[in-house]
Amino acid sequence: MDKLVIEGGRPLRGTIPISGSKNTALMLMAGAVLADGVTVLENIPHLRDITTFSHVLRIAGASVRFDPETHVMRIDATRIDFPEAPYELVKQMRASFYMLGALLGRCGQARVSLPGGCAWGPRPVNLHLEGLRAFGAEIELDQGYVVARAPGGRLRGGRFRLEPPSVGATVNLLLGAVTARGSSRIENAALEPDVVVFGRALQQMGARIEGLGTRTIEVEGVDALQPVTFRNCPDRIELGTFMIAAAIAGSPGDTIYLTGAEPSHLGEAFLEAFRQTGAAFTFDGDTVAVTVPERLQAVSIETAPYPGFPTDLQAQWTVLLSQAEGAGFVRDTVYPDRFKHVPELMRMGLQARVEGNTVFLEGPQRLQGAHVMSTDLRGSVSLVLAGLVAEGETHVLRVYHLDRGYENLEGKLSAAGIAIRRESYDEFATPTPESAEEN
Ligand code: EPU
């Protein structure tokens, strides 16, 4: 297995490029299943989740070619003849569940493994199932699989209210509705930019959708969608992560540039909280310039669906709070159990208290390098951020979590002045007296 080793205390400086959005790319790939022909997707990040989802598409019969240099993906979905997403792949990545809506929309039937829980707790899919049922799907469970069928080969459309406004369920319902026989309405739909960009791609393919970016999305079903060339948007969570990295690990007074970004996708809550820490930032086209303050001020946050503070940035914000002056908290109302990174940060000396869905801490704190374990994607990157400011070496184990969602993290950070390297290690090696001495 691989780990990242970070020597703390080096200032982050210069320019960091932002990759294409992982979560939007997965939606766009699912959308390509609806089009009989070759869809070309640009600005697709080279990530493990993208590779996993490419396999999911191939199982269904698509041919997927990806060039990691140009970041262009070609999906030939002329032949989709095996409408199934197997457990082995869905368990690696929950977004594979998008195949339910995509295959129902394209083939009128689907057999997709249920995802089960995730690293930080249960993540239900009840809204995906109830919503597709409301649009006419007949759904049964069979040995851990969802077996869905559209009577007569096409969903009829319908009306469904999401509570809460789930990103994934909005996507699955859009995938099902765009080629339904009739019209559909998704109430309390997700407003996340990923969903809006995905909806625009569907429109470009010929889908008739109104209300993207509002709480009510109306869809008029069409007979078929056409393949298109579409450019994916930048990754907003990667941008937020590097803005936090700049604020905590940059030299006071210095400016760090994040290029190829779309800052409006971060939402007002994150930008406002970031501003209140004292870190200055400006936008110029697709570049975000972060100027590092002398001192960071603690700002408490509470996650919420877009345009609220993203749950995917709360672990990183915890590390920011540890470097800021004053007391603060991080509350996650979207995923109340998403705190697996906190005990790992405590191994680095973090003093914090988790109560229910909230972590309380007071800064600034001195962190020490340690061996810490990645537990999930965003939690792992918080350990890397802590490593940037810790004294000594931090070893972040099980880097495969990071490889799911951060393209070339160590390459980008080393180019920005950080001493970081990837090493392989034996997860199950038993320490001997000799190895203990070496360490
Ligand atoms: N929910 C239900 N029932 C459902 C679906 C969701 O109760 O059927 C609840 C969830 O338990 C949660 C809330 O709705 O409390 C929001 O979950 P949502 O469905 O919006 O999340 P998701 O679609 O499964 C996506 C991202 C996550 C991100 C969340 C929230 C992708 C592939 N995943 O997940 O990203 O945390 O939205 O913004 O787009 C990540 O990138 O690290 C990641 C986990």
Q: How many CB atoms lie within 10 A of CB 376?
A: 20
CATH of 2-19+234-438, one of 3.65.10.10, 3.40.50.2300, 3.40.47.10, 3.30.460.80: 3.65.10.10
Do 2-19+234-438 and 22-231 come out as alike in CATH topology?
yes
Report the range of poorest mean pLDDT among 107-111, 120-124, 195-199: 120-124
Ligand 1: centre distance to CA 21 (Å): 16
Write out pLDDT tens, residues 83-105. Answer: 999 999 999 999 999 999 999 99
- The overall average pLDDT reported for the chain is 96
Is the CB of 117 inside a 6 Å radius of any atom of ligand 1?
Answer: no
SS3 assignment for the chain = CEEEEEECCCCECCEEECCECHHHHHHHHHHHCCECCEEEEECCCCCHHHHHHHHHHHHHCCEEEEECCCCEEEEECCCCCCCEECHHHHCCCHHHHHHHHHHHHHHCEEEEECCCCECCECCCCHHHHHHHHHCCCEEEEECCEEEEECHHHCCCCCEEECCCCCHHHHHHHHHHHCCCCCEEEEECCCCCHHHHHHHHHHHHCCCEEECCCCCEEEEECCCCECCCEEECCECHHHHHHHHHHHHHHECCCCEEEEECCCHHHHCHHHHHHHHHCCCEEEEECCEEEEECCCCCECCCEEECCCCCECHHHHHHHHHHHHCCEEEEEEECCCCCCCCCHHHHHHHCCCCEEEECCEEEEEECCCCECCEEECCCHHHHHHHHHHHHHCECEEEEECCHHHHCCCCCHHHHHHHCCCEEEEEECCCCCCCCHHHHHHC
Mean pLDDT on 194-209: 98
What pLDDT is stored for residue 431 in this prediction? 82
Atom of ligand 1 nearest to the CA of 126: 8
Rounded Cα gap, residues 194 and 171, in angstroms: 10
Q: Which of 166, 239, 340 to mutate to test the pocket of ligand 1 (most atoms within 8 A of CB)?
A: 166
What pLDDT is stored for residue 430 in this prediction? 86
Greatest Cα pair distance, the chain, in angstroms, is: 71
Rounded Cα gap, residues 120 and 118, in angstroms: 6
pLDDT band with cut points at 50, 70 and 90 for residue 313? very high
Is the CB of 313 inside a 6 Å radius of any atom of ligand 1?
Answer: no
What pLDDT is stored for residue 435 in this prediction? 66
Beta bridge partners of 149: 109, 138
Question: Is the confidence at residue 152, as pLDDT, over 60?
Answer: yes
Atom of ligand 1 nearest to the CA of 130: 8
Nearest CA to ligand 1 atom 27: 312
What pLDDT is stored for residue 429 in this prediction? 87
CB 150 within 8 A of CB 158: no
Atom of ligand 1 nearest to the CA of 237: 41
Nearest CA to ligand 1 atom 33: 23
pLDDT band with cut points at 50, 70 and 90 for residue 210? very high
Annotated binding-site ranges for phosphoenolpyruvate: 22-23
Question: Is the confidence at residue 29, as pLDDT, over 70?
Answer: yes
What pLDDT is stored for residue 117 in this prediction? 64
Is the CB of 124 inside a 6 Å radius of any atom of ligand 1?
Answer: yes
Write out pLDDT tens, residues 401-422. Answer: 999 999 999 999 999 999 999 9
- pLDDT above 90: percentage of residues in the chain: 95
Spatial CB neighbours of 242, under 8 Å, sequence gap ≥ 6: 16, 18, 256, 258, 412
Is the CB of 166 inside a 6 Å radius of any atom of ligand 1?
Answer: yes
Beta bridge partners of 112: 85, 146
Is the CB of 219 inside a 6 Å radius of any atom of ligand 1?
Answer: no
Mean pLDDT on 375-396: 97
Q: How many CB atoms lie within 10 A of CB 347?
A: 16
Told to judge if 233 belongs to the known catalytic residues of this protein, a careful annotator would answer: no
Q: What are the residue boundaries of the structural domains of the chain, listed by start?
A: 2-19+234-438, 22-231
CB 80 within 8 A of CB 34: no
164 upstream amide cis, omega within 30 of 0:
yes
Rounded Cα gap, residues 323 and 305, in angstroms: 26
Is the CB of 195 inside a 6 Å radius of any atom of ligand 1?
Answer: no
pLDDT band with cut points at 50, 70 and 90 for residue 303? very high
Q: How many CB atoms lie within 10 A of CB 425?
A: 15
pLDDT band with cut points at 50, 70 and 90 for residue 123? confident
CA 104 from centre of chain: 24
Q: Which residue has the higher pLDDT, 120 or 388?
A: 388
Mean pLDDT on 135-144: 96
Rounded Cα gap, residues 107 and 174, in angstroms: 15
Residue 62 is which amino acid? A
Question: Is the confidence at residue 438, as pLDDT, over 70?
Answer: no
Question: Is the confidence at residue 323, as pLDDT, over 70?
Answer: yes
What pLDDT is stored for residue 433 in this prediction? 81
What pLDDT is stored for residue 120 in this prediction? 66
Q: 22-231 architecture in CATH?
A: Alpha-beta prism (3.65)
Is the CB of 347 inside a 6 Å radius of any atom of ligand 1?
Answer: no
Q: What is the side-by-side order of every strand in the sheet holding 352-355?
A: 301-302, 326-331, 358-363, 352-355
Write out pLDDT tens, residues 242-276. Answer: 999 999 999 999 999 999 999 999 999 999 999 99
Nearest CA to ligand 1 atom 24: 168
Annotated binding-site ranges for UDP-N-acetyl-alpha-D-glucosamine: 94, 312, 334
* CB-facing half-sphere around the CA of 141: CA atoms within 13 A: 8
Spatial CB neighbours of 345, under 8 Å, sequence gap ≥ 6: 318, 319, 322, 352, 367, 372, 382, 383, 386
Q: Which of 21, 23, 90, 404 to mutate to test the pocket of ligand 1 (most atoms within 8 A of CB)?
A: 23
Q: Is 360 exposed, middle or buried (0-12, 13-18, 19+ CB in 10 A)?
A: middle
List 40, 89, 114, 118, catalytic entry: 118
Q: Which two tokens stand for residue 400?
A: 């495969």
